[in-house]
Structure 1
């Protein structure tokens, strides 16, 4: 009696473990099965399949393994993890998959930037007996050294840009200082164009070789252009005229508006 009770408890525990391991969608399909053995065989047929289905799955995985190529943006770890994931799926289906095949795949499909490591491995070790861990360690070491060099070169580029930026700022500062010297109350020889002594001859606004940006005439700059001043005055006058016209229009509208003297007759319909 005691043994029967223990067996019954074990069957209930096995059934509850199977129920806990599956998702909710699968649980709705196996909840009507009475024994743990029936649940196990149902899951085996559903997901493992027969020999023909497993062989088809293995072929698909092998095809996926063969078409894999390492991308330029991938690292050795990412690429090896992808290959190992496919190999483990094949092994779970009951097919033997050796690490030597993964080693050959990695050595053949990695980019040209790893040729130095491959040549070193060929000269120092027997590739038919080399392990997957040794290949991955050698390639990852080369990858780390390359990343360190790239970081150093990037730091050099940033330093050069920073120096160029500072040199440009210094040049601007020097030009500003040179220009500010002319703005001081320094006395120069009389200018032959305007007869003033507060600026040198080459910085005069009335030089005959300069061209005005406003009127496009020679002999003066935009700062002292008379047409520019006249245009500004004309714009001011035009704005004033527009304001006066708007005021007159509003006043005329107000004066022409007649008061309404009509009566509103209540018909009493609402009441």
Structure 2
């Protein structure tokens, strides 16, 4: 089985009207893997045809790819979205309609980025959260910013974590500051240090519980 046949069995990403940017990235990758993305682009170029192809061969080759790409897009949306695009004739028309309808113009996307960055700045570790859960929450916000086309380096996430972690993590943060160049430290290194401290604290608590149990039953 060739790569294209194998990939055709991978589940299509389904767009239901939410998180368009994430769906668009996944769908473009899916169509590229099936060699169908060029059928979505306006400047369609015919490739892999025999030498001196006839007009009929060119037309047939192009139509096959266009129909496959259109079928993928129809299958990659919810029933509600499908009713809005079912009368469109080409894959390119469908893609452009979805982009215009759900991606928003530059002003709207700029406002979305500003709101997400504001949300990022307001985040703090909750009492019930672990360092990993906190980092995942921050990454979720950052990835939305990146999908909107704005750069957001991991170093800003590292700085955010180091500045906002509560006092009980101070020992780990101080150790990182003393042994690493903070401008070079990675998110993975920060998480490893904080998770190691959480594990040590948990082990001490378990030992304390066991000692108390033994004392009460001696």
Which residue of structure 1 aligns with residue 129 of structure 2? 74
- Unpaired segments of 5 or more residues in structure 2? 1-55
- Per the normalisation by structure 1, the TM-score is 0.59
How far, CA to CA, are the matches of 2:74 and 2:82 in structure 1?
Answer: 6
Which residue of structure 2 aligns with residue 168 of structure 1? none
Structure of greater relative contact order (alpha carbons < 8 Å, 6+ residues apart): 2
Asked whether the equivalents of residues 69 and 110 of structure 1 are also in contact (C-alpha less than 8 Å), the reply is yes
Which residue of structure 2 aligns with residue 131 of structure 1? 186
Which residue of structure 2 aligns with residue 12 of structure 1? 67
Does residue 48 of the first structure (1) align with residue 71 of the second (2)?
A: no
How far, CA to CA, are the matches of 1:151 and 1:22 in structure 2?
Answer: 50
How far, CA to CA, are the matches of 1:5 and 1:71 in structure 2?
Answer: 59
How far, CA to CA, are the matches of 1:28 and 1:79 in structure 2?
Answer: 39
**Which is higher, the Rg of structure 1 or of structure 2?**
1
Size of the aligned set, in residue pairs, is 163
Which residue of structure 1 aligns with residue 15 of structure 2? none
Q: What is the aligned counterpart of 1:89 among 140, 144, 147?
A: 144
How far, CA to CA, are the matches of 1:118 and 1:109 in structure 2?
Answer: 11
The alignment yields a C-alpha RMSD, in angstroms, of: 1.0
- Per the normalisation by structure 2, the TM-score is 0.72
Does residue 116 of the first structure (1) align with residue 178 of the second (2)?
A: no
Shift of residue 162, structure 1, vs aligned partner: 2.8
Moved more, 121-130 or 70-79: 121-130
Shift of residue 59, structure 1, vs aligned partner: 0.7
Shift of residue 19, structure 1, vs aligned partner: 1.0
Shift of residue 21, structure 1, vs aligned partner: 1.2
Asked whether the equivalents of residues 72 and 111 of structure 1 are also in contact (C-alpha less than 8 Å), the reply is no
